Structure 1
Amino acid sequence: MKTQWLLFWLLVFAVLVAVFALLNVEPVTIRYGFGTVQTSLVLVILLSALFGGVLVGLYGIIRQYVLERDLREARKALASLEAERDALQEEVGALRARLEQKEAAERGAEASYDPEGALPRDP
């Protein structure tokens, strides 16, 4: 829907420029640094609008290319960070397992330790 509205407003703008150009049909002299040209004001207006549209289009294409490149780089960085996170989570899991084994061994050693000697225990 957004694209349709954009096209609609572009068409309205193009029609307004064309009407404005047709209302200004006098001949004009354009002076360049190396010469002059006598032409219709309609042609000057339409060519100026076309040139402006081309510049805006080129800017949009370049901007889109830069944004897509940045997005690709961000996705690569994200994938790298996710791989690092997964590796760290595996390392944390392994360390927790080692800690639990060590704690279980210490509990087992404490349970079998008799500070007063080899006294029988009451069941």
Structure 2
Amino acid sequence: MKGQSYVILAIIFVIIVAVFAVANVSPVEVNYLLGIGKAPLILVILFSVLMGGIITASAGVVKIIRQQREHKALQAECNRLRSILKEHGVDESEQITESEEDDSIEKQSGSET
């Protein structure tokens, strides 16, 4: 349902931008970095929206790549810790509850004194 709402919102946004762009067709002066030129306002609007979308998508892709790298690193760490547990003979299915963990910590600290 969440994906459908994004698609619906995107379609509504595209329609609004298209109507706005079509309503503004007069030529305007555009200041480029190296000079000045004239272009129809519709092209300026559509180009600006396109560039905004590309920049936003680029930032999203960079974030996804970072998250994938972090996920791989955490997965490798998890596998390493599982292998250590197997080496020490601890079964993965054994789960220690907080109360059992507190008791074992108290026993260890009591035996050290």
Q: Please confirm whether the aligned pair reaches a TM-score higher than 0.5, indicating the same fold.
A: yes
Q: What is the rounded CA distance, in whole Å, between the counterparts of 1:33 and 1:47 in structure 2?
A: 16
Q: CA deviation at 1:51?
A: 0.6
Q: CA deviation at 1:62?
A: 1.6
1:11 equivalent in alignment to 2:8: no
What's the % identity of the aligned pairs?
30
Aligned residue in 1 for 2:63:
63
Q: CA deviation at 1:33?
A: 2.9
Secondary structure, counterpart of 2:38 in structure 1: strand
Q: CA deviation at 1:54?
A: 0.8
Secondary structure, counterpart of 1:11 in structure 2: helix
Secondary structure, counterpart of 1:34 in structure 2: coil
Gap runs ≥5 in structure 2: 91-113
Structure 2 matches for 1:1-123, cutoff 5 A? Answer: 1-89=1-89
**Quick check: which has more Rg, 1 or 2?**
1
Gap runs ≥5 in structure 1: 91-123
Deviations 1:7-42 (A, max 9, x none): 110110011111111122221101123211101111
Q: What is the rounded CA distance, in whole Å, between the counterparts of 1:33 and 1:57 in structure 2?
A: 24
Q: What is the rounded CA distance, in whole Å, between the counterparts of 2:78 and 2:62 in structure 1?
A: 24
Secondary structure, counterpart of 2:6 in structure 1: helix
Q: What is the rounded CA distance, in whole Å, between the counterparts of 2:34 and 2:55 in structure 1?
A: 24
Deviations 1:39-97 (A, max 9, x none): 1111100000001111111111121111111101100000101111222336xxxxxxx
Matched residue type, 1:87: E
TM-score by length of 2: 0.73
Secondary structure, counterpart of 1:74 in structure 2: helix
Matched residue type, 2:31: R
Deviations 1:96-118 (A, max 9, x none): xxxxxxxxxxxxxxxxxxxxxxx
